[in-house]
C-alpha cells in the first residue's frame, strides 16, 4: 500500500477499534490510538505474511509486547484477513477468542502470548536468533510500550540482541510518554531512550510515530546492528479530548464522547 492508502486504513482501524472498545465497555484506547499507525504500516506494507497460512515458516514475525492494546491488533488482523471482521464485535465477550490480551493458540497471526510487560522483546530476540541459526530470511519486529521499558527483562534482551548481532530484529518503542497511572517523567523516567539503546550497541532511529511516511521508512530500514525505532507518538492520537491525557489509558468513552470521537476520526 502507498502512504495515502495506509493513512486511510489507519483511520478505518482507529474507528473500528474505538467502536469495539465503546461497545465492549473496556479496552486500552489511549495506547491503541498511539500504536495504530505502526500496526497499519507493518501489516499492510512491511510484513511478509500470508493470512491464509498464518504459520508459514517464511513469514516475518511480529510481536505486540504491549499486549493490553490487543483490540488494535485484532482489528488490524481482521482488516488484513486473518480473522473475520464480524468477530471484532465479540471482543471481551464470554468465550470469545478475543480476550483483553492476545492468545497465539486461539487467534491466527498472533505469535506469542503477551500481557505481562517485558515479555515480547525476549521472545522476539529468540525468533531472530532462530532465523540466524537456520538461515531463514524472515525479519522480526516487536512493539513495546515506553513505560514497559522500565521492565528489566527488556534490557536483558537488548544486551543479548547486540551480543548475537541480530541485524534481523527491529524494536519499535511506542513512546507516548504516559503509562497507566501517570506520565513516565513523573514515575520512572526512561527518556531519552536513544542514548540508552545506542550505549547497548543498537542503531536507533527517532521518528514521529503517527506520521505514516516516517513510520514506513523507519520500518524498512536495514542496518548492521539490531534496530530500535523510538516512535514519538501521542496517547489517544486522532481524538482531541483523549490526546496526551493519562486518564484515557483505559477509560471508555460515554455516548457523547464516542460520537465526538467518531466525528473527529471521520473528518481527519
Partner 1 sequence: MNAPVPSPNLYDCRDAFAATLERLAAEDETIVAVCNDSVGSSKLGGFKGKFPERLVNVGIAEQNMIGVAAGLANGGRLPYVCAAAPFLTGRSLEQVKADISYSNANVKLVGISSGMAYGELGPTHHSIEDFAWMRVLPNLPVIAPCDRIETAAAVEWAASYAGPCFLRLSRVGVPDLLPEGHRFELGKANRLREGSDVTLIANGTLTHRMMKAAEILAERGIHARVLNLATVRPIDENAIIAAANETGAIVTAEEHSVFGGLGSAVAEVVVDHAPVPMKRLGVPGIFAPTGSAEFLLDEFGMAPSAIADAAQQLISRKKA
Of residues 5, 51, 56, 159, which one binds partner 1 by CB under 8 A? 159
3-class SS of residue 170: strand
Spatial distance between the Cα atoms of 157 and 154, rounded to a whole number of angstroms: 5
Does residue 54 bind partner 1 (CB under 8 A)?
no
Does residue 199 bind partner 1 (CB under 8 A)?
no
Total residues in contact with partner 1, by rule CB under 8 A: 36
Cβ atoms of 48 and 137 within 8 Å: the answer is no
The region of 11-19, 83-91, 134-142, 173-181 touching partner 1 under the rule CB under 8 A is: 134-142
Does residue 122 bind partner 1 (CB under 8 A)?
yes
Spatial distance between the Cα atoms of 144 and 68, rounded to a whole number of angstroms: 11
Number of CB atoms found within 10 A of residue 165's CB? 13
Q: Which is nearer to partner 1, 122 or 226 (CB)?
A: 122
Q: Which three cell numbers stand for residue 121?
A: 522483546
Does residue 47 bind partner 1 (CB under 8 A)?
no
Give the strands of the sheet with 203-208, arranged side by side. Answer: 61-64, 140-145, 169-175, 227-232, 203-208
Spatial distance between the Cα atoms of 235 and 66, rounded to a whole number of angstroms: 13
Of residues 4, 84, 94, 133, which one binds partner 1 by CB under 8 A? 133
CB of 155 to partner 1, least distance (A): 9
Q: Which is nearer to partner 1, 165 or 186 (CB)?
A: 165
Cβ atoms of 227 and 170 within 8 Å: the answer is yes
Instruction: List the interface residues with partner 1, window 82-111 (CB under 8 A).
Output: 103-105, 111
Does residue 28 bind partner 1 (CB under 8 A)?
no
Q: Which is nearer to partner 1, 4 or 152 (CB)?
A: 152
Of residues 1, 26, 92, 136, which one binds partner 1 by CB under 8 A? 136
Q: Which is nearer to partner 1, 89 or 108 (CB)?
A: 108
Cβ atoms of 223 and 160 within 8 Å: the answer is no
3-class SS of residue 142: strand
Of residues 36, 73, 77, 123, which one binds partner 1 by CB under 8 A? 123
DSSP 8-class letter at 185: G
Cβ atoms of 215 and 7 within 8 Å: the answer is no
Does residue 124 bind partner 1 (CB under 8 A)?
yes
List beta partners, residue 227: 170, 203
Does residue 68 bind partner 1 (CB under 8 A)?
no
Binding interface with partner 1 (CB under 8 A)? 57, 61, 103-105, 111-116, 118-119, 121-131, 133-134, 136, 138, 140, 152-153, 156-157, 159-160, 163
Amino acid at each position: 500500500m502507498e502512504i495515502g492508502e495506509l493513512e486511510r486504513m489507519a483511520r478505518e482501524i482507529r474507528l473500528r477499534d474505538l467502536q469495539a472498545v465503546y461497545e465492549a465497555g473496556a479496552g486500552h484506547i489511549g495506547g491503541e490510538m498511539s500504536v495504530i499507525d505502526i500496526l497499519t504500516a507493518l501489516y499492510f506494507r512491511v510484513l511478509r505474511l500470508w493470512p491464509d497460512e498464518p504459520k508459514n515458516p517464511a513469514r516475518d514475525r511480529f510481536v505486540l509486547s504491549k499486549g493490553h492494546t490487543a483490540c488494535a491488533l485484532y482489528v488490524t488482523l481482521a482488516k488484513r484477513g486473518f480473522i473475520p471482521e464480524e468477530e471484532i464485535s465479540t471482543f471481551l465477550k464470554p468465550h470469545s477468542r478475543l480476550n483483553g490480551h492476545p492468545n497465539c493458540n486461539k487467534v491466527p497471526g498472533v505469535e506469542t502470548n503477551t500481557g505481562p510487560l517485558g515479555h515480547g522483546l525476549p521472545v522476539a530476540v529468540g525468533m531472530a536468533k532462530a532465523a540466524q541459526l537456520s538461515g531463514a530470511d524472515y525479519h522480526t519486529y516487536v512493539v513495546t510500550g515506553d513505560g514497559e521499558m522500565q521492565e528489566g527483562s527488556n534490557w536483558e534482551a537488548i544486551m543479548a540482541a547486540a551480543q548475537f548481532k541480530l541485524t534481523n530484529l527491529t524494536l519499535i518503542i511506542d513512546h507516548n510518554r504516559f503509562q497507566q497511572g501517570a506520565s513516565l517523567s513523573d514515575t520512572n523516567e526512561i527518556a531519552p531512550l536513544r542514548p540508552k539503546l545506542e550505549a547497548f550497541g543498537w542503531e536507533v532511529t527517532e521518528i514521529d510515530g503517527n506520521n505514516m511516511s516516517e513510520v514506513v521508512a523507519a520500518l524498512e530500514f536495514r542496518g548492521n546492528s539490531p534496530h530500535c525505532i523510538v516512535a514519538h507518538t501521542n496517547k489517544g492520537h486522532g481524538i482531541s479530548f483523549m490526546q496526551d491525557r493519562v486518564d484515557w489509558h483505559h477509560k471508555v468513552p460515554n455516548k457523547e464522547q464516542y460520537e465526538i470521537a467518531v466525528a473527529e476520526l471521520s473528518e481527519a
